[in-house]
Structure 1
Amino acid sequence: MQAAPLFTIGYEGATLDGLIATLREAGVTRLVDVRELANSRRPGFAKRALSEALGRAGIGYAHVRALGTPPEGRAAARAGRSAEMKRIFGARLAGIEAQAAVAALAAEGREARLCLLCLEADPAQCHRSLVAEAVAAAGGLGIVHLHPGADSAGR
């Protein structure tokens, strides 16, 4: 039996309904929020509201702060210094707490359909790609990047 793929998704430019519809279409059973701070100015995307909306949709939610980008990495990303952000996050990812989180997600990902969430629409510009690569390597999983529509109309 082949393991389920590991999904990733960014909510930049998406609506909550569009995000949930995309997750449902992919058969995601649990969304793993890999933002260090699970806050958002966008309605519905802060930790509590997102968790509640996902729960109503039958999708589990977990916030794994250890896999979030530290403040200096977020500053580098906002300034467009992607290589610097990746270097900073790489140091975080090599840490004991992050490695334990990667191992746990790799084990869970062999049994469930997980999706890593962060803000950026483009996975190549987001640390979630680095997290996905680490989890996929540890769990023997493939990676699929999901792209939610701006709304759920037409889904």
Structure 2
Amino acid sequence: MPEQPLFTIGYEGATPDRLIESLREAGVTTLVDVRELANSRRPGFAKRALSQSLEAAGIGYRHMRALGTPAEGRAAVRAGRYGEMRRIFGARLAGTEAQAALGDLAASARAGRVCLLCLERDPAQCHRTLVAEAVASHGGFAIVHLSAAGALPA
């Protein structure tokens, strides 16, 4: 049986319209927001505005706060300390609430075409890749990184 794609996307450098266009091109049915705090200074990317735009485009929206990076992990990313972010987020991911959310996410991804959303354009520098890898480690998923702001970095 072929693997189900599990998409990820970052909105850094993108517009809401371009994000939705990328999701449509990939056939995504549900966007799962894995930011701990689903707000943004960028117009159109806060939880309410984003969920409304997605709904109008026929794409579902879910916020899974338990799969977000805690404040100290976000601070590590801003400082360029990606190894530290991975350690901090790894501890979060091992927790009971995050494990339950991962199970829920895996079930959703088996039922439809799901895409994980966070800010960072480069998936190698974002915790959404760690979330996707945790889901894919149970088998049956192929991780596909989408871009809403042009080509992904090499």
TM-score by length of 2: 0.94
Aligned-pair distance for 1:137?
1.6
Q: Quick one: percent identity of the two aligned structures?
A: 75
Q: Which amino acid aligns with 1:95?
A: G
Tell me the residue number matched to 1:102.
Answer: 102
Tell me the residue number matched to 1:59.
Answer: 59
How many Å separate the matches in 2 of 1:11 and 1:107?
25
Aligned residue pair count:
150
**CA deviation string 1:52-105 (max 9, x = no partner):** 000000000000000000000000110000000000000000000001111111
How many Å separate the matches in 1 of 2:7 and 2:32?
10
Aligned-pair distance for 1:149?
3.1
- Secondary structure of the residue aligned to 1:41 is coil
RMSD (Å) for aligned C-alpha atoms: 1.1
Long gaps (5+) in structure 2: none
Long gaps (5+) in structure 1: 151-155
Tell me the residue number matched to 1:149.
Answer: 149
Q: Does the aligned pair in 2 maintain the 1:35–1:118 contact within 8 Å?
A: yes
- Secondary structure of the residue aligned to 1:138 is coil
Determine whether 1:123 maps to 2:123: yes
How many Å separate the matches in 2 of 1:63 and 1:42?
17
How many Å separate the matches in 2 of 1:39 and 1:7?
21
TM-score by length of 1: 0.94
Q: Which amino acid aligns with 1:108?
A: S
Deviating above 4 A after TM superposition, structure 1's stretches of 4 or more consecutive aligned residues are none
